[in-house]
């Protein structure tokens, strides 16, 4: 993401710059990173770009001589860390020599970024790769620890059966990883817009080659398990796990954690998180297979085998889940800038969905581990005659088998959300939303007059200003704003009454030229001669990225705030408590946690509410999917917000004129349907916008500026081709035609 720029984003400059310096939050692939700068007429004024040999996050753009006016800086890059492609734009104002505003209309854009939206095919491919990675790791882990310990002749029969299933699962996983990796490579080439060979020449491509090369290790282990005797099962499985672990370590080296300071710790946490999840979920899948096979065995033979399989599986699962929870919290603290980002960002909302799905997942796992498993093992190992023992064992087997399947199904749903999560930029390394644009509103009273100043959006560059007055307003003759900041000259803006005579005055312009503390004084001239000057102080945010640690790979990747430290320490204590409580006292299956679970079971009568578990799980998943879909939905504007500032009434005549103008000037790209399917669409570098996706969410004033000045060098300017009224007519038609989604959507 764009961290900052020199000169600053949206700044006003008295001297034309000869060079722009852009600082990004991650290392960039130089071959696929560039910038173009255009003036208000769409003419390119950039001369060349250069990269900093000592800092791989810096891009310098050298400019041709430029005159007073407005510049639009368009940049794009490809991250050298994770291969994501992103682009953005921002404006600069070159003032006249006397400090006044240049001629022409200021571009109606602020700092914008695009290209960070997750693509469905990339999410699906990542999900398949995650599933296959879990299957591969879990297959070898099950073969290493669970199947060798199955007792008796029935255990031997089940070992032979499970060994075959392990080999089938591992072979299928290797095939999916190989084919999915190829699909991922072509998707990356498409995303960057280059050939496969060019992608392989990047850091991401080198890691892709290395990662897939290490699949040869589990392939050798799988081949050996087919050719060699069962006595070599454990060495073969250990070799397979080692190969899968290296594959995951390389995957983590191009994850979100690899960006920014403290990469070593962040990547290590991500790797442990991925490995723990893969072991748990992969072994869980084979446990489901084992339960299905056990249905065909005689009762007296199968229950000791099931009890031992559950005991061994739980020994591994407890450590895996404990590590999973701890590293998950650590990763969240690293990647989320603040707690509010869980609701205020796409990454945070996707993470919230994952957390919601973890609730039933951990519930199913806890019931299995601390209620049903101890009951089954105790019933199997009991020496005294137990009344209805066979019926009790059958019931426990059925409930365990059912909940294990639910546990696996929920885990697969969690992996789908993870496939989405890794495609979204975290809030670490992006613009600090808390320090960004936000409407300024403040009131002051003096000599019988109350003035309320509103600055929107209160950021460097173009702002709208409004002064609402009340009290003795009959004497007001003129309202002006005076802008001062240390190191800048005073600028003055005369406000216009919105509808004379009026109680509020409005104006617009790029009078706040840079971040920092500004004094905006409301100068009220009165007919009585007793003028007022009411000073307002506002802090204007810049485009500084949040910092979460030092720049070295071994620095801390997190900011040590009270909340972050408390979360990590609390989770660490819970992790240790979970492991200790699962094994102590040693003579009790499930440890102290089974005692706690049994007490809760009696008090909450979990057995009696069993029929609603499915409904509860479906409700949680439904809520999660709703949040997932809602995480990428813009806020629809109200009719008054959408048409504010449009001087042409939306009459049938205006809409008809707008339809004709749209047909003559816009359909070549946007198409008659407005979905970007015009005859010229395929010839353009970037597809034209789908108007249904934009018209309901932005104001007429925004689109008027886009039509007048063009947009980031992609859409041409129509300011010299269409009159103002004609542009407003088009907007009235767009609002009428595309303001609501079509019936098919």
For the sheet with 491-494, list strands across it: 491-494, 476-484, 516-526, 532-540
d(CA 347, CA 337): 11
Residue owning tokens 């979990």: 606
Provide the token pair at 87: 């682009």
pLDDT at residue number 330: 93
Provide the token pair at 394: 């059958």
Residue owning tokens 């009951």: 375
CB 141, CB 313: distance < 8 Å:
no
Band (610; pLDDT cuts 50, 70, 90): low
d(CA 35, CA 677): 28
Write out pLDDT tens, residues 240-283: 999 999 999 999 998 888 887 788 999 999 999 999 999 999 99
Q: Does the pLDDT of residue 608 top 60, yes or no?
A: no
What would the mean pLDDT of 661-668 be, rounded to a whole number? 88
Provide the token pair at 488: 């800048």
Cα 263 to the center of its chain, rounded Å: 19
In this structure, the number of other CB atoms found within 10 A of the CB of residue 115 comes to 14
Closest by Cα among 399, 400, 398, 376 to 389? 376
Q: Does the pLDDT of residue 577 top 90, yes or no?
A: yes
Write out pLDDT tens, residues 414-441: 999 999 888 887 877 554 433 444 678 8
User: Is residue 491 reached through a cis peptide bond, with omega within 30 degrees of 0 on the bond before it?
Assistant: no
Write out pLDDT tens, residues 174-213: 999 999 999 999 999 988 888 899 999 998 999 999 999 9
| Out of 254-258, 534-538, 569-573, least confident range | 254-258
Write out pLDDT tens, residues 728-745: 999 999 998 888 755 543
Q: Does the pLDDT of residue 543 top 60, yes or no?
A: no
Provide the token pair at 455: 């600055």
d(CA 616, CA 310): 26
Band (302; pLDDT cuts 50, 70, 90): confident
**Apex 578 CA angle, 577 and 580, nearest 5:** 65
Q: Does the pLDDT of residue 607 top 60, yes or no?
A: no
pLDDT at residue number 744: 40
Band (315; pLDDT cuts 50, 70, 90): very high
CB 142, CB 166: distance < 8 Å:
yes
d(CA 271, CA 170): 20
Write out pLDDT tens, residues 475-491: 888 999 999 987 677 88
d(CA 563, CA 500): 52
Q: Which one has a higher pLDDT value, 575 or 742?
A: 575
Cα 72 to the center of its chain, rounded Å: 27
What is the pTM for the complete model shown?
0.71
Largest CA distance in the chain: 107
Percent of the chain surpassing pLDDT 70:
88
């Amino acid at each position: 993401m764009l961290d900052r720029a020199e000169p600053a984003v949206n700044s006003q400059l008295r001297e034309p710059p000869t060079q722009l310096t852009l600082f990004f939050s991650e290392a960039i692939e130089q071959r696929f990173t560039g910038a173009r700068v255009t003036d208000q007429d769409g003419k390119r004024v950039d001369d060349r770009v250069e990269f900093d040999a000592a800092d791989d996050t810096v891009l310098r753009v050298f400019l041709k001589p430029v005159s007073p006016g407005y510049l639009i800086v368009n940049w794009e890059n490809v991250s050298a860390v994770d291969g994501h492609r992103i682009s953005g734009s921002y404006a600069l104002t070159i003032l006249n020599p006397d400090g006044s505003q240049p001629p022409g209309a200021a571009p109606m854009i602020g700092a914008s970024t695009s290209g960070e939206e997750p693509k469905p095919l990339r999410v699906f491919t990542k999900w398949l790769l995650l599933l296959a990675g879990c299957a591969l790791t879990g297959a070898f882990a099950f073969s290493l620890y669970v199947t060798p310990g199955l007792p008796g002749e029935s255990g031997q029969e089940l070992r032979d059966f499970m060994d075959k299933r392990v080999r089938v699962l591992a072979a299928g996983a290797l095939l999916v990883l190989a084919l999915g990796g190829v699909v991922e490579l072509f998707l990356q080439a498409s995303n960057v817009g280059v050939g496969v060979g060019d992608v392989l020449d990047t850091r991401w491509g080198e890691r892709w080659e290395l990662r897939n090369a290490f699949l040869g290790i589990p392939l050798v282990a799988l081949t050996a398990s087919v050719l060699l005797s069962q006595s070599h099962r454990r060495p073969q499985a250990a070799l397979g796990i080692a190969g899968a672990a290296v594959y995951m370590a390389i995957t983590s080296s191009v994850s979100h954690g690899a960006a920014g300071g403290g990469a070593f710790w962040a990547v290590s946490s991500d790797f442990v998180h991925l490995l723990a999840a893969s072991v748990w979920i992969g072994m869980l899948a084979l446990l489901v297979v084992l339960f299905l096979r056990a249905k065909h065995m005689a009762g007296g033979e199968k229950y000791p085998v099931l009890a031992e399989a559950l005991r061994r599986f739980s020994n591994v699962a407890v450590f895996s889940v404990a590590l999973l929870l701890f590293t998950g919290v650590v990763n969240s603290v690293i990647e989320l800038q603040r707690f509010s980002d869980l609701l205020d960002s796409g990454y945070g909302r996707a993470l919230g969905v994952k957390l919601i799905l973890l609730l039933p997942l951990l519930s199913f796992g806890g019931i299995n581990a601390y209620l049903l498993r101890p009951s089954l093992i105790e019933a199997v190992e009991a020496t005294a005659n137990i009344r209805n023992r066979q019926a009790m064992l059958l019931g426990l087997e059925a409930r365990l088998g059912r909940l294990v399947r639910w546990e696996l199904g929920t885990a697969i749903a969690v992996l789908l959300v993870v496939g989405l999560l890794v495609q979204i930029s975290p809030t670490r390394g992006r613009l600090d939303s808390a320090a960004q644009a936000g409407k300024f509103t403040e009131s002051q009273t003096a000599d019988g007059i109350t003035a309320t100043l509103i600055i929107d959006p209160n950021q460097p560059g173009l702002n709208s200003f409004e002064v609402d007055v009340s009290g003795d307003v009959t004497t007001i003759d003129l309202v002006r704003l005076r802008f001062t900041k240390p190191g800048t000259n005073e600028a003055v803006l005369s406000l216009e009454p919105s509808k004379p005579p009026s109680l509020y005055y409005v104006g617009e312009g790029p009078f706040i030229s840079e971040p920092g503390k500004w004094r905006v004084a409301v100068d009220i001239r009165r007919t009585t001669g007793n003028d007022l000057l009411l000073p307002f102080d506002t802090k204007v945010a810049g485009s500084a990225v949040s910092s979460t640690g030092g720049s070295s790979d071994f620095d801390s990747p997190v900011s040590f705030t009270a909340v972050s430290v408390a979360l990590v320490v609390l989770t660490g204590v819970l992790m240790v408590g979970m492991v200790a409580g699962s094994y102590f006292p040693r003579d009790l299956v499930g440890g102290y946690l089974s005692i706690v679970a049994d007490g809760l079971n009696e008090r909450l009568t979990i057995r009696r509410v069993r029929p609603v578990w499915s409904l509860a799980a479906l409700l949680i998943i439904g809520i999660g999917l709703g949040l997932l879909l809602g995480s990428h939905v813009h806020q629809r504007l109200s009719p008054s917000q959408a048409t504010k500032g449009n001087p042409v009434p939306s009459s049938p005549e205006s809409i008809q004129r707008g339809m004709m103008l749209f047909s003559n000037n816009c359909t070549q790209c946007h198409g008659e349907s407005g979905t970007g399917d015009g005859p010229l669409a395929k010839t353009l570098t970037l597809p034209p916008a789908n108007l249904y996706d934009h018209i309901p969410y932005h104001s007429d004033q925004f689109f008027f500026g886009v039509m007048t000045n063009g947009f980031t060098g992609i859409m041409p300017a129509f300011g010299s081709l269409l009159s103002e009224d004609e542009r407003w007519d088009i907007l009235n038609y767009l609002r009428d035609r595309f303001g609501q989604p079509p019936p098919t959507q």
